[in-house]
Amino acid sequence: MTDGGLDTPGESQSGARRTDGPAALLPPYREREESISLGTLDEQPVSGTEVDIDGGPDRETELMTINLGPHHPATHGVLRLLCTLEGEVVRDIKPLIGYVHTGIEKSCEDQEYWKAITFVERMDYLAYYFNAQVYCMSVETLLEEEVPPRAQYLRVIHMELNRIASHLFWLGTAALDIGAITMLWWALRERDLMLDLFEMSSGQRLHTRYFQVGGVFEDIPPGWEAKCRRALEVMPARLDQYEALLDENEIWLQRMKNTGIVAREELLALGVTGPLLRATGEPWDLRKAMPYSSYGDFQFRIPVGTVGDNYDRYRVRLAEIRESLKIVEQALDGLPEGPFITSNRKVALPPRHELATSMEALIHHFKLVTEGFRVPPGEAYSAIESPRGELGCYVLADGSAKPSRVHMRDPSFVNLQSLKAMGENSLIADFIACIAMLDPILGGIDR
CATH assignment at residue 216? 1.10.645.10
Domain contains 232? yes
pLDDT at 50 over 50: no
Mean pLDDT of the chain: 85
Question: Can you give the pLDDT at residue 12?
Answer: 42
Mean pLDDT calculated for residue range 203-212: 90
- Gap between the Cα atoms of 314 and 242, Å rounded: 11
| φ/ψ (deg, to 5) at 65 | -105, 130
Mean pLDDT calculated for residue range 360-382: 90
Question: Can you give the pLDDT at residue 142?
Answer: 95
- Gap between the Cα atoms of 314 and 316, Å rounded: 6
Domain contains 212? yes
Same domain, 73 and 142: no
Q: Give the number of domains in the chain.
A: 2
pLDDT at 400 over 60: yes
More confident of the two residues 187 and 346:
187
Same domain, 263 and 402: yes
Same domain, 267 and 296: yes
Report which DSSP code applies to 113: T
- Gap between the Cα atoms of 272 and 144, Å rounded: 31
Question: Can you give the pLDDT at residue 31?
Answer: 45
| Least confident among 8-22, 81-95, 391-405 | 8-22
Distances (CA, A) of 333 to 118, 198, 225, 329, 337: 30, 19, 10, 6, 12
Domain contains 1? no
Query: Binning pLDDT at 50, 70 and 90, where does residue 353 land?
Result: confident
Same domain, 182 and 256: yes
- Gap between the Cα atoms of 52 and 57, Å rounded: 9
Query: Binning pLDDT at 50, 70 and 90, where does residue 357 land?
Result: confident
Same domain, 290 and 186: yes
Domain contains 230? yes
The DSSP code sequence of 168-237 is HHHHHHHHHHHT-HHHHHHHHHHHHHHHHHHHHHHS-SSS---EETTEESSPPPTTHHHHHHHHHHHHHH
Please give the model's pTM, rounded to 2 decimal places: 0.84
> Any residues with CB less than 8 A from the CB of 183 and at least 6 apart, and which?
171, 172, 175, 176, 242, 245, 246
Question: Can you give the pLDDT at residue 32?
Answer: 41
Same domain, 110 and 83: no
Same domain, 115 and 77: no
Question: Can you give the pLDDT at residue 61?
Answer: 57
| Residue 186 · residue 172 · CB < 8 Å | yes
Query: Binning pLDDT at 50, 70 and 90, where does residue 172 land?
Result: very high
Q: Rounded to the nearest 5 degrees, what angle is found at the Cα of 21, between the Cα atoms of 15 and 24?
A: 145
Same domain, 260 and 394: yes
Question: Can you give the pLDDT at residue 391?
Answer: 95
- Gap between the Cα atoms of 179 and 370, Å rounded: 52
Same domain, 239 and 274: yes
State how far Cα 21 lies from the chain centre: 32
Mean pLDDT calculated for residue range 167-191: 93
Sign of dihedral through CA atoms 347, 351, 354, 355?
positive
Query: Binning pLDDT at 50, 70 and 90, where does residue 10 land?
Result: very low
Query: Binning pLDDT at 50, 70 and 90, where does residue 445 land?
Result: confident
Question: Can you give the pLDDT at residue 55?
Answer: 52
Same domain, 416 and 323: yes
Question: Can you give the pLDDT at residue 245?
Answer: 93
29: containing domain: 12-50+59-96
pLDDT at 372 over 90: no
Question: Can you give the pLDDT at residue 14?
Answer: 39
Domain contains 387? yes
Mean pLDDT calculated for residue range 129-134: 95
Mean pLDDT calculated for residue range 244-249: 92
| Residue 438 · residue 297 · CB < 8 Å | no
Residues of 153-184 as b/e, b for ≥16 C-beta within 10 angstroms?
Answer: bbbbbbbbbbbbbbbbbbbbbbbbbbebeebb
Same domain, 36 and 87: yes
| Least confident among 47-56, 358-367, 418-427, 436-445 | 47-56
Domain contains 4? no
Question: Can you give the pLDDT at residue 54?
Answer: 54
pLDDT tens digits, 250-272: 999 999 999 999 999 999 999 99
pLDDT at 44 over 60: no
pLDDT tens digits, 119-131: 999 888 899 999 9
pLDDT at 57 over 80: no
Domain contains 5? no
Q: 40, 72, 96: which is the final residue of a domain?
A: 96
Same domain, 352 and 203: yes
Domain contains 385? yes
Question: Can you give the pLDDT at residue 174?
Answer: 93
| Residue 404 · residue 379 · CB < 8 Å | no
pLDDT at 1 over 80: no
Q: 35, 69, 96: which is the final residue of a domain?
A: 96
Distances (CA, A) of 134 to 213, 389, 392: 10, 13, 6
pLDDT tens digits, 67-117: 888 887 777 778 889 999 988 999 999 999 888 888 899 999 999 999 999
- Gap between the Cα atoms of 341 and 148, Å rounded: 6
